Amino acid sequence: MSADNRNMPTHALIFASLLCLSTLASAAEPERHGAGIPVPQARILQQLGLGHELIDVDIEGNRFRLLYRPAMTPKPSGAVLLLPDPGSAEAWLEQVRALTAYLPEHGWTVIAVEPPELPDSPVPTRTSPAADSASAPAAAEGSSATASGPTVLSFEQQMAQRLQEAHDTLGRRAPELRQRIITGIGRSAVWGVDWAQGKDDGVNLMLIDPRPSPGARQPLHTLLPLVGRRTLIDLYHAPMPGYPDAEPNARQRRLLARRADLKHYHQSRLPGVFRGWQGDMPWLTRHVRGLLERIILDDSRKLRGKMETPVPRVQAPPGSAAINASGGPT
């Protein structure tokens, strides 16, 4: 046997050892996440730092979470309720991370709602009228509580329930903050606008990259004219990866608002290029803060000023006495 043949097992052993060490080293490296891949929620919560509170909610077996952070200033300006895109799934915390980290530092209390999962869209099947009528009671039973499980809610009911619970939580935690901005992201935008109908004047709206949502009772362009006196800020990126209709749909909303004479509708194209949701998004957070302060608060002051403007007194001509309500001279 030659020297090379005698050394072969040694080289093989060394190679195997190096391969094992390389595998262990790569396993020990922290997991890297590219754009669009959700980061584990526990890691995000750890990175959010002090002041953030994750609230577990259980309403008749329907469980979800709220992320709450109060304003870090002596006199808060208001509260922002964030509703992430329901398509974000477990990445919903990543979607609101930059805003919940930035806005409270500048006077805004923030609460974010874990969105429900998007409903499935099964292919409709043809049925006879008799079959339709027979299936109606079964569908109705499916939306009520059962003895062995939670109340089964439709996607629409879940959205309304979660928005209401977040709004009620703000009322309990920060009752002095009458200025509340419902902020719908992506497919949540239409649900935020729909839910706000019938609420008090202190509820205003913000949309971030709105897009159509499955299961919505009415599309966004139908709901916009119903906004009325509410302030609505419409923010969008263009181009928007995965949504080529971002620019034409934004133009349609702008024209519709003008036609409906919505005096408090404000649309703005977000600066920069959208590269996915990140922990630090200064072009978004600063833009949102600026619009909240310049538009939401300014519109609120103007409305409050109109309501508090005193009726001017009519001056009596010289030589005459003013008459009081009883008919006698003052």
Does some domain include residue 9? no
Does some domain include residue 212? yes
Which residue shows structure tokens 């599309």?
Answer: 219
- Res 298: pLDDT: 79
Work out how many domains the chain is built from and give that number. Answer: 1
CB count, 10 Å around CB of 243? 18
CATH assignment at residue 278: 3.40.50.1820
- Res 206: pLDDT: 97
Does some domain include residue 142? no
**At residue 245, what is the residue type?**
D
Give the list of residues 6+ apart from residue 64 with CB closer than 8 angstroms, or none. Answer: 57, 113, 114, 116, 162
Does some domain include residue 4? no
N- to C-terminal Cα separation, the chain: 130
Does some domain include residue 14? no
Q: What is the pLDDT along the chain (330 residues), one digit of tens a residue?
A: 544 444 445 444 443 443 343 443 333 333 333 344 344 566 777 777 778 999 999 999 999 999 999 999 999 999 999 999 998 888 899 999 999 999 999 999 999 999 999 887 543 433 344 434 443 444 444 444 455 567 889 999 999 999 999 999 999 999 999 899 999 999 999 999 999 988 887 899 999 999 999 888 899 999 999 998 899 999 999 999 999 999 999 999 999 999 999 999 999 999 888 989 998 999 999 999 999 999 988 776 665 555 455 545 545 455 544 444 444 444
Boundaries of domain holding 185: 44-117+153-307
- In DSSP terms, 112 is beta-bridged to 67, 82
Does some domain include residue 16? no
Give the C-alpha separation, 188 to 86, whole Å: 7
Does some domain include residue 229? yes
pLDDT in tens, 180-210: 999 999 999 999 999 998 888 789 999 999 9
- Res 122: pLDDT: 46
The answer to whether the pTM exceeds 0.85 is no
- Res 50: pLDDT: 74
- Res 119: pLDDT: 81
Q: E-strand spans in the chain?
A: 53-59, 62-69, 78-83, 108-113, 180-185, 203-208, 232-236, 265-269
b/e string for 293-314 if b means 16 or more Cβ within 10 A?
eebbbebbeeeeeeeeeeeeee
